[in-house]
Amino acid sequence: MRVEARGLTFEVRTGGPEGGDAVLLLHGFPQHSGEWDEVVPALHAAGLRTYALDQRGYSPGARPAEVAAYRAPELVADAVAVLDALGVDTAHVVGHDWGAMVGWGLAAQHPQRVRTLTAVSVPHPAAFGYALAKDPQQKARSSYMMLFRQEGKAEKVLLALKAAALRKLLSGVGDAERVARYAEPMREPGALTGALNWYRAMSNEDLGRIGKVTVPTTYVWSDRDVAIGRTAAEACASHVTGDYRFVELSGITHWIPDQAPGPLAEAILARVRALA
């Protein structure tokens, strides 16, 4: 379905029983709402209603040109506006990668809208910042961002030779068909630039405004994540004052929703049920 919010048009995949408690699903880079397809059946079976959002830069009708339009406050405001447009007062929020960062901001700044938070792969921004400052390995893990922030060059590198580099980046999601599922939409005019603008608009000032989270929270991390190391993962707990659970998945890489949809669904449902 299409949702009009903040003068933009967002694509939203809906599913599950009409009267079920709402779950807002926020994808990461360089994917789209389809990354939740193998997670949602278990949520629907448990009676939950899911709304998987193609976020700013990913929905064709929500792709502003200015880099500043992709600052963290704008991304969080989108999530609030989409909930408003859907008529959803409160939701269980689940985010992966950049979607987790939006989830952290939403839970910290609009706790009245978030029943629970399940953040996947990416920890609270303050925990990430701590690791960048204290752990040389995390700094090395995050070095790819330097390329992503270079306008024009990143697109050229990632899309060359029929997006060979982008496909390699996505190789952990599964077979060639699954890789193509995410890579092909990024080859559409303006799509990859919209997605990369999240990195280009990122600032310590914006992320530093995301305070402690008071809502019940689960953080799901995988020990073979090349982007997020253990220092950042274990620092996350100190930035949540609500009930907190840390779920570590062994032998799984960064692409948790694709590689481990079952364990991820279990973690989400355990968090939701703990509220009952």
The rounded distance, in Å, linking the Cα atoms of 17 and 31 is 26
The enclosing domain of 205 has a CATH number of 3.40.50.1820
Measure Cα distances from 44 to 21, 151, 160, 264 in Å: 10, 40, 39, 14
Give the pLDDT of residue 105. 98
The residue with tokens 């989409």 is 82
Whether 119 contacts 240, CB under 8 Å = no
Number of independent structural domains in the chain: 1
Calculate helix-pair angle for 72-86, 191-201, nearest 10 degrees.
Answer: 120
Residue 229, both tokens: 């190391």
Q: Residue 269: what residue type? A: L
Give the distance, in angstroms, between the CA of residue 134 and the centroid of all CA atoms in the same chain: 24
Whether 203 contacts 71, CB under 8 Å = yes
Containing H/E element for 236? none
Phi/psi at 178 (nearest 5 deg)?
Answer: -70, -40
Give the pLDDT of residue 75. 98
Residue pLDDT tens, the chain, 276 long = 999 999 999 999 999 999 999 999 999 999 999 999 999 999 999 999 999 999 999 999 999 999 999 999 999 999 999 999 999 999 999 999 999 999 999 999 999 999 999 999 999 999 999 999 999 999 999 999 999 999 999 999 999 999 999 999 999 999 999 999 999 999 999 999 999 999 999 999 999 899 999 999 999 999 999 999 999 999 999 999 999 999 999 999 999 999 999 999 999 999 999 987
Give the pLDDT of residue 43. 98
Residue 275, both tokens: 């509220």
Measure Cα distances from 126 to 16, 21, 116 in Å: 34, 30, 19
Give the distance, in angstroms, between the CA of residue 143 and the centroid of all CA atoms in the same chain: 19
The rounded distance, in Å, linking the Cα atoms of 206 and 223 is 28
Give the pLDDT of residue 40. 98
Parent domain of 187: 2-274
pLDDT digits (tens, 9 = 90+) for 105-121: 999 999 999 999 999 99
Sheet holding 244-249, edge to edge: 2-5, 8-15, 49-53, 22-26, 91-96, 114-120, 217-222, 244-249
Give the pLDDT of residue 275. 86
pTM of the entire predicted model: 0.98
**E strands in the chain:** 2-5, 8-15, 22-26, 49-53, 91-96, 114-120, 217-222, 244-249
